[in-house]
Amino acid sequence: MSYGTSSLGSGSRTARRTFEFGRTHVVRPKGRHQATIVWLHGLGDNGSSWSQLLETLPLPNIKWICPTAPTRPVAIFGGFPCAAWFDVKDLSEDGSDDVEGLDASAAHVANLLSTEPADIKIGVGGFSMGAATALYSGTCCAHGRYGNGNPYPINLSAVVGLSGWLPCSRSLKNKIEASVETSRRAASLPVLLCHGKGDDVVLYKHGERSAEVLNSNGFRNFTFKVYNGLGHYTVPEEMDDVCKWLTARLGLDGSRS
């Protein structure tokens, strides 16, 4: 078993929370190792379930790291504890943002990727709340900083979000416009966002709105794929699209790009 902790201070004198992350599951590449992706599960799930699915994908050059979120009280469940990357009251970009929780999970992702070899491309992806955390990590990468102002330490090569939303969307414009370098990183970062029109958990309109916010804030290397009738789950068609996109964006063996 692999466990980790993460704590991020805001620079204030208030006591910082320490988050105890659960078990991390790793899917080793079956071919030449070219990329490593941290994949984040949804609310109340764990890393094991997604590692089993990812192992079946025709992506032999990717190493998958599937951590498990800390167990914490979650407002949307009336404070009942469950595995969650951050506290959430509303599964949409309209809800209040738990920046401390988001920063801690984004830092955990960065820590997991920080020990990968220098010639390996690195990325983050996820489903639902995991997608929200992945997208947040992408905006931290573009901005060069976490929400609390601490430097973001790694350069992501791909961000994937399925059935999710973009946290802290209201403050994104100021972050991306902070410098020419920030705008350049945002424009070059490959991002794939997928959402089903039949999603009754994270409504399609929230995924669509998140796509609009990313587009309007200079994320030029951005793809938004929509699936008619798809609910809050994944299907082979969607995962095929993810495989094709990752193969092309990461230049994996077998890619024409």
Helices (H), the chain: 47-54, 99-113, 129-143, 172-176, 180-188, 204-216, 236-250
Q: Which of 25, 92, 199, 210 is catalytic?
A: 199
Question: 5: how many CB neighbours lie within 10 A of its CB?
Answer: 12
Q: Which of 108, 143, 206, 232 is catalytic?
A: 232
33 is an active site residue? no
Length of the chain: 257
**∠ Cα 229 235 238 (to 5°):** 90
128 is an active site residue? yes
- 27 backbone dihedrals φ, ψ, rounded to 5°: -105, 110
- 60 backbone dihedrals φ, ψ, rounded to 5°: -70, -15
Partners of 68 in the beta sheet? none
Q: Which of 51, 105, 128, 157 is catalytic?
A: 128
Q: Which helix (H) or strand (E) holds 222?
A: strand 222-227
- Distance, CA of 208 to chain centre: 17
User: How far apart are alpha carbons 239 and 247 in whole angstroms?
Assistant: 12
Name residue, tokens 């079946």: 56
232 is an active site residue? yes
Burial 83-120 (b: 16+ CB within 10 A, else e): bbbbbbeebbbebebbbbbbbbbbbbbbbbbeebeeeb
* Residue-wise DSSP of 29-79: -SS---EEEEEE--TT--HHHHHHHHTTSS-TTEEEEE--PPEEEEGGGTT
Which residues participate in catalysis according to the annotation? 128, 199, 232
